[in-house]
Amino acid sequence: MKCPYCQYSESKVIDSRPTDEDEKIRRRRECMRCGKRFTTYEIVETTPLMVLKKNGTIEAFNRDKLLKGLLRACEKRPVSLRCLEQMVDRIEQRLKNSLEGEVSSHKIGELAMEELRRVDQVAYVRFASVYREFQDINSFMDELRKILEEKEREDNNL
């Protein structure tokens, strides 16, 4: 590991411990030349998740892009940023667990709508209206009817 101060390539590990999330290992190091200490983080290297977009192009999965879309849908709604970040974590984990190196943007949108539907129905409808590109009021009303029917079924099962 190269020292960030003098660029020397040898250092010794002074302390090593997992981070709070147990996803990384934090290492305190000391440079063998200048003696200064610095911190490094070790993570498991994974293959990138690629997204096949509607127009046929492929790009790397960007969790920030997904989070921004969810934030827009939840604007002025009682949904915390922490809740949205957990949604993105669950979606990303499901995509990685599918063991597909390439996933369609359609699949990501469906997973996002599934998450939003459980948390906030207004945010769900907002997201769906953009994602499904409602062309007129009838397609919008069809989606609202589905939500109402689902809610009615849930209420009857209680």
What are the tokens at 97? 């667990």
Q: Is the pTM of this model over 0.95?
A: no
Is residue 21 predicted with pLDDT exceeding 80? no
pLDDT of residue 111: 94
Percent of the chain exceeding pLDDT 90 equals: 59
Phi, psi of 69 (to 5 degrees): -65, -40
pLDDT tens by residue, 39-93: 999 987 777 889 999 899 999 999 999 999 999 999 999 999 999 999 999 999 9
Phi, psi of 43 (to 5 degrees): -130, 160
Look at residues 98, 125, 99 and name the one whose alpha carbon lies nearest to residue 112. Answer: 125
Is residue 116 predicted with pLDDT exceeding 80? yes
Mean of the per-residue pLDDT values for the chain?
89
Percent of the chain exceeding pLDDT 70 equals: 99
pLDDT of residue 82: 94
Q: Using DSSP, state whether 83 is helix, strand or coil.
A: helix
